[in-house]
Amino acid sequence: MPSYAVNDAGVAHARQLIDAGTFDDTTEWSEAAPSTAERNEEIEDAGRAEWSRWYLAVDTGAGEQTKARYRFPYGDFERVNRAALVHAKQRAAQNDHPEVEQAADDLLQRLDAERG
């Protein structure tokens, strides 16, 4: 089983976006999730460091320059997606990643408080 650590840069980035009101609380994640082509374009345009800030977890066993290193996406490279946070929390719980589950839950609560 992969070993996941919370991606602190990703969590901090999500907090900033939520606090700025930059989130989508209506679109289903299946509709908002970036395609493979969009993920590749984001890496090319923004760089790997910026791209990696859109994920809640790091797979510490995956190579640093691979897309497999970053897991649990939470947005579309523009906004935090509420459904993505719900999905991440559920997947983390199902796969016994309690730290990632807690990070997703904390962000979900923050987003819900921000949206009123």
Contacts of 19 (CB under 8 A, 6+ apart): 110, 114
> Which residue is listed with tokens 């929390």?
89
pLDDT tens figures, 36-86 = 999 999 999 999 999 999 999 999 999 988 898 999 999 999 999 999 999
Output b/e per residue, 66-95; b: 16+ Cβ within 10 A: ebebbbbbbbbbebbbbbbbebbbebbeee
* Residue given tokens 């995956």 in the structure block: 62
pLDDT tens for each residue of 13-29: 999 999 999 999 999 99
Q: What is the pLDDT of residues 55-67, one digit of tens each?
A: 999 999 999 888 9
Nearest to 85, CA basis, from 10, 20, 35: 10
Residue 1 pLDDT level (bands cut at 50, 70, 90): low
Mean pLDDT taken over the chain: 95
**Degrees to nearest 5, angle at CA 5 with 87 and 39:** 55
